[in-house]
Amino acid sequence: MSGILVLIFPLLLKAVSILLVTLFCIKLVKRILRYRKYFSFFNSIPGETDFHPIWGNMHKVGNTTEVRIKYVNGLMQKHPQLFRFWVGPFIPVIVLNHPDTIKKLLKTSEPKPLTYHMALPWLGEGLLLAGGERWARSRRLLTPAFHFDILKPYVDIYNKTADVLLDKIEHYSKTGESFELFSMISLCTLDIILKCAMSYDNDVQLKGESHPYVKAVYELSELWFERGRNPLLYPDWIYQWTKGGRRFLKQCKFVHSISEDIIEKRRQTLLEKRKESSSKRYLDFLDILLTAKDENGVGLTPLEIRNEVDTFLFEGHDTTASATSWILYSMATNPEIQREVQAEVDSVLEQRHHHRVEWNDLSHFEYLTRVIKEGLRMHCPVPFVQRYLTEPLEVDGITIPTGTMCSAHIMNLHHNPTVWEDPSEFRPDRFLPQNTNSKDHYAFLPFSAGPRNCIGQHFAMNEEKVILARILHRYSLELDTSHKVAKRFAAVMRSEEGIHVFAKPRIKGNN
């Protein structure tokens, strides 16, 4: 018997090996055929034709933001509705450039794709990254934080924070030196979100040219964006061993320590705040986070609260810093437009015999509002937003399958010549009512649109009006042409080497 087994065993082993190899080959052939069908389908959609077996189309993008903008704009010029772009050999992205195509995506509640989830160690499943019921619940709980009655008292904080900013600008006005605008505005907007949303005063603007938190956010968003451009770094188990991955996690711990400190201090004083509620002028964002209950009487967990604080500290200061800085840059390079804004601001403030912006003034800044909107069109703080399809989506006659990543490219939309005439020119009067009434509501999306639009857009617009009005009421800005100004993509649009300007005084005394 043992002799027979000795003879049969090698034959059985060989048969099993042949069977396993055959099954493997069949599966491999099926996968290859499936991939060929998949590859063929997506390549039938117009897009970049130069395909690399490792990088897909990524090798065409370029090494600097300005080069990337030019390249992507060129694809949009060829394909104004949409185009396909391969991120590595296996991930096609459908890039939408037109109101007709973008609205189909943004009207859905589709979740964020893998590239957003790379920020989970930093922002957690807050409003920016959460999907499904978790997102819907958080949105319901947080919406009251942006009610009219909550926003109105913030104008006083905007003004007090702007006072510190103006004092810093005054130094350079007296010396005649230029100064870097972007970092200064970033400190101001961080100061505002800390005071408005968290009632937290830490003299942020007085702690040097850059605060450690601002530096950490800048580095985190840079690392996040660069990882998204390299498919080899997508797996977490690879990224965490890289230098960038280790740095990302270290900075996550730092920003979490800031938010946890803010939350803990508020927990300790919340009872006292409640006792003083009759005299307190408003509930802030953190109050609502700590006390909100859903329909089942369940509040947010400590981790959910930290996730929302981290999200709002990032989104609430970085995007407004970008918008405000690029709008000031636009006016520094368009003196006539700057003078028109100043004339309107002077008229509104001096008619009321004050130099601080009040709530009722905001609606009278009609030209300034058009300038802000045109600045947001030209230099959108968030260049694109992405979604992951959980069900097929028909766009421009194409049925895009489940599992596809789609990008609503806001920068392309805002510079699409089939949507905007002469899109590279700065024309605030594009936003006169007679010029916008006939435009699609999805032609201008600085705050996205649909169910996942920016919850804080009114907060941001009010803040930008106050900061811009206060600066331009007191100073005229001129660009320092000895410093190059170039855009830089990250999670938010920044400047490559800063924006350097001169401040010329317009009126005497302090406002």
Helix (H) or strand (E) segment spanning residue 92: strand 91-96
64 within a domain of the structure (yes/no): no
Q: Say what the pLDDT of residue 4 is.
A: 64
Higher pLDDT, 206 or 177: 177
pLDDT digits (tens, 9 = 90+) for 111-166: 998 888 899 999 999 888 888 888 888 898 888 888 888 889 999 999 999 999 99
Which amino acid, 24? F
Task: Specify the pLDDT at position 508.
Answer: 47
CATH of the domain at 477: 1.10.630.10
pLDDT tens-digit profile of 241-287? 999 999 999 999 999 999 999 888 887 776 665 555 555 545 688 88
Other CB atoms within 10 A of residue 343 CB = 12
Exposed / middle / buried, residue 331 (Cβ in 10 Å: 0-12, 13-18, 19+): buried
**456 Cβ contact partners less than 8 Å away, ≥ 6 residues apart:** 146, 312, 315, 316
Q: Which tokens go with 163? A: 């006072």
Span 453-470, mean pLDDT? 95
pLDDT reported for residue 239 = 94
* Residues 449-459, mean pLDDT to the nearest whole number: 92
pLDDT at residue number 219: 93
| CA 443/CA 461 separation, integer angstroms | 18
pLDDT of residue 84: 96
Nearest to 220 by CA among 87, 319, 308, 123: 123
Residues 214/337, Cβ–Cβ less than 8 Å? no
User: Considering only 27-36, 74-83, 218-227, 387-396, which range has the smallest mean pLDDT?
Assistant: 27-36
For 30, residues 6+ apart whose C-beta sits below 8 A from its C-beta are none
Contact status, residue 103 vs residue 393, Cβ threshold 8 Å: no
pLDDT of residue 3: 61
**Interval 32-70: pLDDT, tens:** 667 788 889 999 999 999 999 888 998 898 888 889 999
Strands 91-96 and 405-409: parallel
Q: Quote the pLDDT of residue 266.
A: 81
pLDDT above 90 as % of the chain: 60
Residue 99 belongs to a domain: no
Q: How does residue 88 score in pLDDT terms, banded at 50, 70 and 90?
A: confident
Query: For the packed helices 302-332 and 457-474, what is the interaxial angle rounded to 10 degrees?
Result: 40
Is 323 part of a structural domain of the chain? yes
Which range has the worst mean pLDDT, 325-334, 343-352, 372-381, 472-481? Answer: 343-352
Q: Which of 191-195, 265-269, 470-474, 492-496 is most confident? A: 470-474
Do 153 and 466 touch, CB atoms closer than 8 A?
A: no
Q: Considering only residues 413 and 507, tell me which one the structure prediction assigns the higher pLDDT.
A: 413
Quick one: pLDDT band at residue 12, thresholds 50, 70, 90? low
Task: Tell me if 88 is assigned to some domain.
Answer: no
Mean pLDDT along residues 482-494: 89
**Looking at residue 203, what is its pLDDT?**
83
Establish if 38 belongs to a structural domain: no
**Alpha-helical segments (H) within 143-242:** 148-151, 154-175, 181-198, 212-228, 236-239
Instruction: Please provide residue 278's backbone torsions phi and psi, each rounded to the nearest 5 degrees.
Output: -65, -25
Residue 425 placed within a domain: no
What domain count does the chain have? Answer: 1
Please report the pLDDT score of residue 46 as a whole number. Answer: 95
- Both structure tokens of 375: 């600045």
In a domain, 418, yes or no: no
Asked if the structure places residue 69 within a domain, the reply is no
For residue 510, is pLDDT > 50? no
In angstroms, the CA 329 to CA 431 distance is 19
| pLDDT tens string 314-349 | 888 899 999 999 999 999 999 999 999 999 999 999
Q: Which domain holds residue 191?
A: 109-382+446-505
| Structure-token pair, residue 164 | 């510190």
Confidence class for position 509, pLDDT limits 50, 70, 90:
very low
CA 339, CA 285: separation in Å to the nearest integer?
A: 36
